[in-house]
């Protein structure tokens, strides 16, 4: 994992747990054959995912508590 990519991605998604979840999920998708959302010479799937996050191509949204409570019931 490239520390430079991680640092920039943390600026976009400061919640480390959310960043880890999003980057690992995307890296798995790339490993299964999904195409990257950007052109890069990088071959490491996790680095590609971090680059995509850094460029704002991947984002996340936390559930609203009311919606989350409805989901659990």
* Fold exhibited by the domain 3-72: Eukaryotic RPB6 RNA polymerase subunit (3.90.940)
* Both tokens assigned to 20: 């880890």
* pLDDT of residue 71 exceeding 60: no
Give the mean pLDDT of the chain: 88
Measured CA to CA, the distance from residue 26 to residue 23 in angstroms comes to 5
Q: Is the pTM of this model over 0.75?
A: yes
What does the pLDDT read at residue 6? 94
Confidence category of residue 34, pLDDT binned at 50, 70, 90:
very high
What does the pLDDT read at residue 64? 66
pLDDT tens digits along 40-65: 999 999 999 999 999 999 988 776 66
């Amino acid at each position: 994992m490239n520390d430079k990519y991680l640092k920039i991605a943390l600026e976009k998604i400061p919640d480390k747990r959310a960043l880890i979840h999003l980057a690992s999920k995307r890296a798995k998708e790339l490993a299964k054959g999904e195409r990257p959302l950007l052109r890069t010479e990088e071959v490491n799937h996790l680095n590609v995912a971090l680059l995509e996050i850094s460029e704002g191509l991947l984002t996340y949204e936390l559930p609203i508590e009311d919606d989350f409570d409805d989901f659990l019931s």
